[in-house]
Amino acid sequence: MTTTVMNRGNTVLVPAPAKAGGHVTIRPDDATLDAFAEELDALRAETMSKVGQKDADYIRRVIRWQRGLDMGGRVVMLVGFLSPLWWTGLFGVLMLAIAKILDNMEIGHNVMHGQYDWMNDPNINSRDFEWDNVGDANSWKRYHNHEHHTYTNIIGKDRDYGYGILRLSDDIAWRPRNLYQFFMYLKLSLLFEFGVAYHELAGERIFFGKKKKNSQLPISREELKQAFFRKIRRQTFKDYVFYPLLCFPVLVPVLLGNLAANLIRNLWTSTVIFCGHFTESAHTFRAEDCEQETRGQWYFRQILGSSNFEGPRWLHILSGHLSCQVEHHLFPDVPAYHYPEMAKTVEQICQRYGIPYNTGSFARQYWTVLQRIVRYSFPTRRELANA
Partner 1 sequence: MTATHSQQGPALPAAGGIGRWLAETLTTRPSFSSYFAPFMQYWQPGWSTHAWRAAVMQIRSELSDVYSLVLKPDSRWAGFVAGQYVQLTVEKDGAFCTRTFSISSSPAHWQTTGLIELTIREQVGGRITPWLRQHLHANSVVNISAAQGEFTLQQVPEHRPLLLIAGGSGLTPLHSMLQQLSSEVSAREVHLLVYARDSQHFLFQQALLGYETSLSNLSIQWMDSEQVGFIDESHLQPLQRLLECDVFVCGPSPMIKAARDALRVLHVADERVHFEYFGAAPLDRVAQLDASRVVQFSRSQHVLDVAQASNQSLLEMAEQSGLNPVSGCRIGVCHQCICQKERGVVLNTRTGEYSDTGPEEIQLCLSVPVTDVVVSL
How many other CB atoms are found less than 10 A from the CB of residue 160? Answer: 21
How far is 71 from 52, CA to CA, in rounded Å? Answer: 29
Contact with partner 1 (CB under 8 A) among 132, 147, 158, 204:
132
- Using the rule CB under 8 A, give the single segment among 219-227, 291-299, 303-311, 379-387 that binds partner 1: 219-227
Interaction with partner 1 in 72-111: which residues (CB under 8 A)?
A: 103
- Using the rule CB under 8 A, give the single segment among 218-226, 268-276, 348-356, 358-366 that binds partner 1: 218-226
Interaction with partner 1 in 221-240: which residues (CB under 8 A)?
A: 223, 226-227, 230, 233-234, 237-238
Contact with partner 1 (CB under 8 A) among 127, 187, 205, 212:
127
Contact with partner 1 (CB under 8 A) among 38, 46, 57, 288:
57
Contact with partner 1 (CB under 8 A) among 77, 95, 119, 322:
119
CA atoms within 13 A on the CB side of 130: 9
Q: Does 333 bind partner 1 (CB under 8 A)?
A: yes
> In the chain, what is the straight-line distance between the N-terminal and C-terminal CA atoms, in Å?
44
How far is 358 from 373, CA to CA, in rounded Å? Answer: 18
Contact with partner 1 (CB under 8 A) among 110, 139, 145, 306:
145
Identify which of residues 10 and 53 has a Cβ nearer to partner 1 in the complex: 53
> Minimum Å distance from CB 117 to partner 1?
5
Q: Is 260 exposed, middle or buried (0-12, 13-18, 19+ CB in 10 A)?
A: middle
Alpha helices per DSSP H over the chain: 30-50, 53-82, 89-102, 110-112, 137-140, 149-150, 181-190, 192-204, 221-236, 243-246, 251-277, 295-304, 313-318, 325-330, 339-353, 362-375, 381-386
**Residue 19 β-bridge partners:** 24, 284
Q: Does 2 bind partner 1 (CB under 8 A)?
A: yes
Q: Does 220 bind partner 1 (CB under 8 A)?
A: no
- Using the rule CB under 8 A, give the single segment among 127-135, 186-194, 198-206, 264-272 that binds partner 1: 127-135
Q: Does 118 bind partner 1 (CB under 8 A)?
A: yes
Q: Does 131 bind partner 1 (CB under 8 A)?
A: yes
Contact with partner 1 (CB under 8 A) among 24, 46, 123, 215:
123
**Distances in Å between the alpha carbon of 101 and those of 14, 26, 134, 358, 377?**
43, 38, 13, 25, 30
Residue window 16-55: x/- pattern of binding to partner 1, with contact defined by CB under 8 A? -----------------------------------xxxxx
SS3 209: coil
**In terms of Cα–Cα distance, which of 262, 281, 305 is closest to 98?**
262
- Using the rule CB under 8 A, give the single segment among 23-31, 115-123, 152-160, 341-349 that binds partner 1: 115-123
Identify which of residues 20 and 62 has a Cβ nearer to partner 1 in the complex: 62
Q: Does 120 bind partner 1 (CB under 8 A)?
A: yes
How far is 47 from 339, CA to CA, in rounded Å? Answer: 9
Count Cβ neighbours within 10 Å for each residue of 166-183 and write b for 16 or more, e otherwise. Answer: bbbbbebebeeebeebee
Q: Does 281 bind partner 1 (CB under 8 A)?
A: no
> Minimum Å distance from CB 317 to partner 1?
16
Q: Does 271 bind partner 1 (CB under 8 A)?
A: no
> Minimum Å distance from CB 308 to partner 1?
25
Helix (H) / strand (E) containing 13: none
> Minimum Å distance from CB 120 to partner 1?
4
Angle at 283 between CA 154 and CA 136, to 5 degrees: 50
Q: Does 276 bind partner 1 (CB under 8 A)?
A: no
User: How is residue 350 annotated by DSSP?
Assistant: H
**Residue 284 β-bridge partners:** 19
Residues forming the site for partner 1 (CB under 8 A)? 1-6, 51-57, 60-61, 63-64, 67, 103, 114, 117-123, 125-128, 130-132, 138, 145-146, 150, 218, 223, 226-227, 230, 233-234, 237-238, 242, 333
